[in-house]
Structure formats: structure tokens, C-alpha cells
């Protein structure tokens, strides 16, 4: 698919919360949450909404691309957790950007932590003459099990990021390959059970409440990744026609500092070629990959002609990746 990323942007809420603040709130020894998670600080929304973050990131991406909202014909929301179950989040972001009724299509895709990659590939397949906007915006600090599992709750942070995609006529930029594989045998290892149709709030209020917080079996996810992720990456590289040494930069999902370290050991990519922001931003769910992408672009780590590999895992459980020649 001959497309290019024309612009990226990111947004954070104003408040940056160090792990020490959670130690004090929970009555834990100082340094305990950071020791459990590897995360030193993360952004947490106060008055900002998920839509505020999405619009700010989208405007930054449009400015980076030198485009106005009216230039966009497709808006794809790619967040793991929506603003509300119905309708989709993307039409509201489209409206807040000032794109007039009927001037663009807007819808959501959801593959949890891999949603941005799914949105990017969907946009690439739908592109015609006008650019598309893909955004991921997450309030990951909500619905966390602080009382029972601070080692899980302390991993997450809020944030948003977006990218503008357009046809790459006249350049060599392209998506060289994409791949996703799912392992639903571990479906229950990670998720929030309430909020959909599984539990009826009126008929089953206790069950609804019991499943309203995020839960994760880290050991099961680790075992699954250890068995299959290395082969998955090798197969993605083979699809792209790339060798391991030809990858210039790896932009992974920022699940946790420990997960990043394990991924580096498992895949053998040099640490200096892997974008790592989990320790300072936390796990921003679907926003983590585009957030890391924007940071890398603005630091000059992504340059024309480079081969960039996006990698991640998601609840469900799925492995996903995309090989991009920029």
C-alpha cells in the first residue's frame, strides 16, 4: 500500500503524577509503586476529557501535515475504550474539529492496544485522493484496581495521539507488510467485563460492579508472548521482505518497562533502536504506539528512507505489527 504518514501529533493532560503520589495515597512505603511497575510518572486527566485530548492531538497532526480539517475525508477513532458505547467516538471528534456534516466519513475500530495499527491499515485501504486522520485517545487512569493490584494499576497513564495518512504518489513510502494473529484461549487474561452486554446493570448490579475494574493475569500473558511472539515477528519481517538488521527503528506498544525489556531480549533488536517511553508516560493503551511515533518523529529518529517496525500485543489476545517504509 503506497501511503505515507504526512503528520503526527500528541496530547497530554496538564497533571503529571509521580508514582510517589500513589504511595502516599495508598499508605505504601515510598518507592513501592515505581518498584512494582517501573513507571516513574504518568499524565492523569483532571478537567480534560477524552475528546479534548483527541482533538488536541488531531489538530497537532494536521498542523504537522500542513493541512486544515476541511482537507480530511476520513476520520477513524482507534481507542481501546470509547467515550461512550454508542455512538462511535470518531463523529464527535470530527464535529469538534469543525468538519462539516457530510464532508467526511467517521467511525471507530477497536483491537484494544493494537487499535491504532488497525486504524492505520483500514485508512490505507480506504484512501483515495484526500488524506485520512487516525486518532487514539485514552483515559487509561480510569477503572483501575488500586486497592487490590497496585502493581497493575500503576502501569497506566492518559494521553492521545493522531496521524494523518495520504497517498504517497511520487515517493517510495509504503506499508510493506502487516500481520495480526489472535490467541483467544487467553481471552480472559486481560480486560474489563462490565460496560457491554455481558452484565445487565439493572438485573445484575453486583456482578456489574464486580467486573467494572480492569483485571490482568500478567503471568499468562507473559507465557503466551514467550511461546509465540518471536515467531510472529520473524513472520512479519518475512512478509515485508526485510531482514532483522534492516529495521532502523522499532516502535512498540508501551505495555510496561518490563514488557519492553522482555520484547527486546526476545526479538534481539538493539535497545537503542527501540522507542521506550513507558517509564515516563505509562501504558496509554491504544495511544501508546502513535504517541511514541510522534515523539520519535519530532526527535528526528524517523527520517525518509527508513524502515520502521510497529509491534504490539493486545487483550483478546492478539499480536500485531506493521512494517512501514517512510
Tens of pLDDT, residues 76-108? 999 999 999 999 999 999 999 999 999 999 999
Q: Give, as one character, the DSSP assignment of residue 74.
A: E
Distance in angstroms (rounded) separating the CA atoms of residues 134 and 64: 14
CA atoms within 13 A on the CB side of 41: 9
Report CA dihedral (308, 181, 287, 176) to the nearest 10 degrees.
Answer: 30
Q: Which domains does the chain have, with CATH numbers?
A: 3-167 (3.40.47.10), 174-325 (3.40.47.10)
pTM of the full predicted structure? Answer: 0.97
Distance in angstroms (rounded) separating the CA atoms of residues 24 and 194: 29
* Alpha-carbon radius of gyration of the chain: 19
**Residues catalogued as catalytic:** 113, 253, 283
> Averaged in consecutive runs of 10 residues, what is the pLDDT profile of the chain (326 residues)?
95 98 96 98 98 98 98 98 97 98 98 98 95 98 96 98 93 95 96 96 96 95 94 98 98 97 96 98 98 98 97 97 97
Residue 121 CA, distance from chain mean position:
14
Tens of pLDDT, residues 39-74? 999 999 999 999 999 999 999 999 999 999 999 999
* Three-state DSSP state, 182: strand
Amino acid at each position: 500500500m503506497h501511503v505515507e504518514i504526512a503528520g503526527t501529533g500528541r496530547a497530554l493532560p496538564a497533571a503529571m503524577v509521580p508514582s510517589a503520589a500513589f504511595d502516599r495515597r495508598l499508605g505504601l512505603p515510598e518507592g513501592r509503586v515505581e518498584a512494582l511497575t517501573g513507571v516513574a510518572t504518568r499524565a492523569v486527566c483532571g478537567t480534560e476529557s477524552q475528546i479534548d485530548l483527541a482533538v488536541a492531538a488531531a489538530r497537532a497532526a494536521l498542523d504537522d501535515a500542513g493541512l486544515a480539517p476541511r482537507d480530511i475525508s476520513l476520520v477513524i477513532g482507534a481507542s481501546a475504550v470509547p467515550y461512550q458505547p454508542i455512538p462511535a467516538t470518531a463523529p464527535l471528534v470530527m464535529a469538534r474539529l469543525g468538519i462539516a456534516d457530510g464532508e467526511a466519513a467517521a467511525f471507530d475500530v477497536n483491537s484494544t492496544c493494537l487499535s491504532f495499527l488497525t486504524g492505520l491499515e483500514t485508512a490505507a485501504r480506504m484512501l483515495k485522493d484526500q488524506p485520512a486522520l487516525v486518532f487514539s485517545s485514552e483515559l487509561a487512569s480510569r477503572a483501575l484496581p488500586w486497592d487490590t493490584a497496585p502493581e497493575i494499576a500503576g502501569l497506566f497513564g492518559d494521553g492521545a495521539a493522531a496521524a494523518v495518512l495520504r497517498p504517497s504518489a511520487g515517493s517510495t513510502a509504503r506499508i510493506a507488510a502487516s500481520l495480526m494473529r489472535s490467541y483467544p484461549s487467553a481471552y480472559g487474561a486481560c480486560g474489563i467485563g462490565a460496560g457491554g452486554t455481558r452484565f445487565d446493570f439493572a438485573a445484575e448490579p453486583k456482578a456489574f460492579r464486580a467486573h467494572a475494574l480492569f483485571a490482568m493475569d500478567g503471568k499468562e500473558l507473559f507465557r503466551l508472548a514467550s511461546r509465540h511472539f518471536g515467531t510472529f515477528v520473524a513472520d512479519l519481517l518475512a512478509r515485508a521482505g526485510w531482514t532483522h538488521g534492516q529495521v532502523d527503528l522499532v516502535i512498540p506498544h508501551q505495555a510496561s518497562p518490563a514488557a519492553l525489556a522482555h520484547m527486546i531480549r526476545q526479538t534481539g533488536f538493539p535497545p537503542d533502536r527501540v522507542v521506550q517511553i513507558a517509564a515516563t508516560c505509562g501504558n496509554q493503551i491504544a495511544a501508546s504506539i502513535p504517541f511514541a511515533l510522534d515523539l520519535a518523529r519530532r526527535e528526528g529518529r524517523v527520517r525518509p528512507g527508513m524502515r520502521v517496525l510497529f509491534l504490539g500485543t493486545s487483550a483478546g489476545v492478539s499480536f500485531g505489527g506493521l512494517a512501514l517504509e517512510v
